[in-house]
Amino acid sequence: MSRVRNFQLSQNWSWAQRDTQINSVLDQVDGWNAAQAYPSEIHVELLKTGAIPDPYLGFNEHKVQWIGKVEWLYRCTFPFSADVEETHALLEFLGLDTLCDAYLNGVKILASDNMFQTHVVPLELSALKSENVLLLHFKSAHLLAKELEAEMGVVRAGSTNLGDASRVYVRKAQYDWRWDWGPELMTCGPYRPISLKTFNVRLEEVYPQALLSDTDVPTLKVDITLAGRLDSASSLRITLSSADQVLKSQDVPIATNLSLLGAVSWNLEGAVEPWWPVGYGPQNLYTVSVLLLDATGQTVDSSTTRVGFRRVKLVQEPLAEADQYGTGTTFFFEVNGVPMFMGGSNWVPADNFLTTISPERYRAWLTLLRDGNQNMVRLWGGGVYEPDVFYDTCDELGILVWQDFQFACGVYPAHDSFVASVRKEAEDNVKRLRHHPALALFCGNNEDYQMVLQWGDVKDFPAVKIYEEVLPDVVGTLTGEQPVPYHRGSPYGGKGWDTADPTVGDVHQWNIWGGKEYPYHDYVKLGGRFVSEFGIPAHPDFRTIEYWMDGAPKPKEGEEGDSQWHAQSALMAQHCRAGSFERRFAILMNEGFRVTEDLETYVYNTQLLQSEAVGYAYQVWRRKWGGRGKEYTSGVLAWQLNDCWPVTSWAIADYFLRPKPAYYTIARQLATFSVGVMRTVIKDRNNDRPPQYYEFGNFQSRGAMLEIWGTNASLTARAARLEINCVDLKTTWTHTETSDVTLLPNQATELLAIPCPGPPRDVAAPLPTGDKEFTTTYSVVVGVRLLDKETGVVLARYADWPQPFRFHAPAVLRAAGLAVEVNGETVTVTVERPVKALVLSAVGEGEEVKWSDNALDVMPGDPQVVKAKGLGGRKVAIAFLGREKAKVL
């Protein structure tokens, strides 16, 4: 009896631009080039041959737009030797981007128009020869989209920086049409593997359900579907193992049915342990193997799947009492019976060229997220369903996955053929992903409901059929006895699809930076039950800017010329796609920082702005995780974790995985223990300025109040000592006080509310106005620490600085008595005066340093120790508020 044979078509590929002068693509002889990558995308091949410039550099993106408007051919030749016992054959295409006709030995076998589908094409064995040719003809998705738009009508879809609206008609990654953080690069090619399988009988589908009951009893159920001739197989051997240890095994006879629902159902109480998200317990994973055996006990086919036993619920129930928004309902994730605060970020594809993202690069990104104390990643709906390695890595690292279906910011159609295509797309991907313990939610779309409400002039929203009928039906039907939660869209919540209702569902908070353009201190007033998007852009690491500048000449000192090395240059704009970014940056930057013409200083200030704003949002929203019945805000996901090319964006780490200061600020806010401070200024009259700002114009402050709270993500209470250290930036006055506190488990705890200490009036420096009747706290930095009551170990620290930062003289900020001691890969920082946002960087060439912490607020008497993995004897450069240009120590 022959085994299933699986031939990866991974060699002998070539590609060519289609010659439109030749009627049939089968007849093209000239123009072929050997493919240098597999799987393959045409831009990558053109780059490797030097036929196009790198679109990630300079203005080169504009030089490659022609690629998406022509047709391309791929060809693979492969041998085949028949086995006389085999009766069946198929070709499996895991991903074709996007419009593709496939020909085997001159016969058309497939017409694909959906990038997100898996295609299994049955073959007659007679169709295979000793030497075979598979030809793939890729047509222009761009041109098809415009043709369909002309046929079906122009609809609303995002804005001009979210790609051409015709994109909604084609099932291709929407960001390929351009987004407000990515370039317009219309890719095509066999971007995922292709294989030939021959067999008599095979395992067509294996679905192991690793269940955990409400009483924490683990159960394994395995559903199996066979294909081919049942008389060629006798039994199934199903085994559950942990590492090299077999925990349970059973042989199941095969009768006359190709579908074996519940082939086994095992109670595993005492034999396995639950899978937990990071921070709550170990990520226990087990392997389910299935062997298809013939009558002699020989293996015909096999399958292995890794599972974890857990239960995930999305809890939407009435709150016990109202908060500032009213009552409404919760929106929190409960894993294995434990309500959990979700802190994380949004994921966009890590490259416009998907085939260049290696498994190691996926792991590096997700490890960065995990090491930043984040426990959830949201896969945004304008990209792709990522390959298996992404979800496998999330399982291993304990990162929960919020998975959008691939619809974003548009009015999508719902004609019969489109709905049928989407249904198959959903089925393919739900079946592929449903066994992952990390999978916490399927979501219907990104911002489609929100856009329709904002526009107000959309008369027909046909895709409601998809989001409210097709997708929930697919998820509910295919995800078994403990269905994966489904959410219609993000954001989605209140009556009449109200996507901005803070009391129901999730919200995207874009009235800061975009929308109403409020100051970022208003995050405290603009939250919701779950904030699944919000953010502030920042420039990337300066080395990333140097990369995209691609050798653009720098001006000499004092020289005026057509230099691109300034914040408002055309080349800097080429690598910043955010809508109205010039005005929006100007608003927030001018409110907080001194105006500068120096590019390096400006870059640092944007990073500090992002760090302060995003960190503040995490802080004030996590404060609203108030315990049972008071889950007022249950999750915060920053927009966004990553970039798809070198760019200025909302990402907290740039294209090269270089974290921005915001990454470290978020990590501190999401640590097991954190401490927060809210300073509310008492004004001499009511006004609309944020409560953190000191105004020296018509309005002046008479003092300030401090509210201090702590958060504890562990499931046990923690006794701690609260220490407050106040330092005046303008005088030598200091103040210290301590108190004993208890941090309640799995929630925020209000600790203290006191007037902000300040120097006596006869000690305080005069106000800029010369008026002494007002506050003396406007120049006081309030440093707060939580220390373990028994050991004195610092559990959390935070420094609240008076704002805006532009009021602090650089000379005062530089007089910090800063000392940085480097001992191998350990860096110790001490100061005599407060230092704001100290950024450490390595000098010279070498591996990328992994800093355990960075962008530090350092207080006197509180040394901070940072691990610098990979520093390798290099010197360290420092930058901080007041000395924003990096200086080598």
| Helix/strand/coil for 698 | coil
Instruction: Give the DSSP H or E segment for 599.
Output: helix 599-622
Q: How far is Cα 883 from Cα 878, in angstroms, rounded to an integer?
A: 9
- Distance, CA of 777 to CA of 108 (rounded, Å): 78
Catalytic residue selected from 447, 591, 631, 884: 447
Q: Is 848 annotated as catalytic?
A: no
Residues 443/487, Cβ–Cβ less than 8 Å:
yes
Centre a 10 Å sphere on the Cβ of residue 230 and count the other Cβ atoms it contains: 15
Q: Do residues 343 and 532 make contact, with C-beta atoms less than 8 angstroms apart?
A: no
Inter-residue contact 91 to 199 (CB < 8 Å): no
Contact between residue 408 and residue 445 where contact means Cβ atoms under 8 Å apart? yes
Q: Report CA 145 to chain centroid distance, whole Å.
A: 28
| DSSP bridge partners of 674 | 711
SS3 786: strand
Our CA angle for 191, 194, 200, nearest 5°, is 160
Task: Work out the number of other CB atoms within 10 angstroms of the CB of residue 657.
Answer: 17
What are the backbone angles phi and psi of residue 194, rounded to the nearest 5°?
A: -125, 135
Please count the CA atoms within 13 angstroms of the CA of 710 that sit on its side-chain side. Answer: 27
Within 8 A by CB and 6+ apart from 433, the residues are 385, 391, 403, 439
Edge-to-edge order in the sheet of strand 88-93: 5-8, 194-199, 88-93, 119-123
Looking at the chain, how many residues does it have? 889
For residue 282, the one-letter residue type is: P
Rg of the Cα trace of the chain? 29
- Cβ–Cβ < 8 Å for 653, 663: yes
Cα separations (Å) of 595 from 347, 589, 696? Answer: 33, 8, 18
Provide the CB-side half-sphere exposure for 36 (13 A, CA).
11
DSSP, res 243: T
Contact between 206 and 238 (Cβ < 8 Å): no
827 beta partners: 822, 866
Between the alpha carbon of residue 512 and those of residues 518, 583, 588, 607, 654, the distances in Å are 5, 13, 9, 16, 22
Query: Mind giving me the DSSP string for 538-584?
Result: B---HHHHHHHHTTPPPPPTT--SS---STTSHHHHHTB--TTHHHH
| Residue bearing tokens 């990454």 | 663
Q: Determine the 3-state secondary structure of 737 from DSSP.
A: strand
Query: DSSP secondary structure string, 78-110?
Result: EE----TT--EEEEEES--BSEEEEEETTEEEE
> Hey, what are 366's tokens?
């997700």
| Active site (catalytic) residues | 447
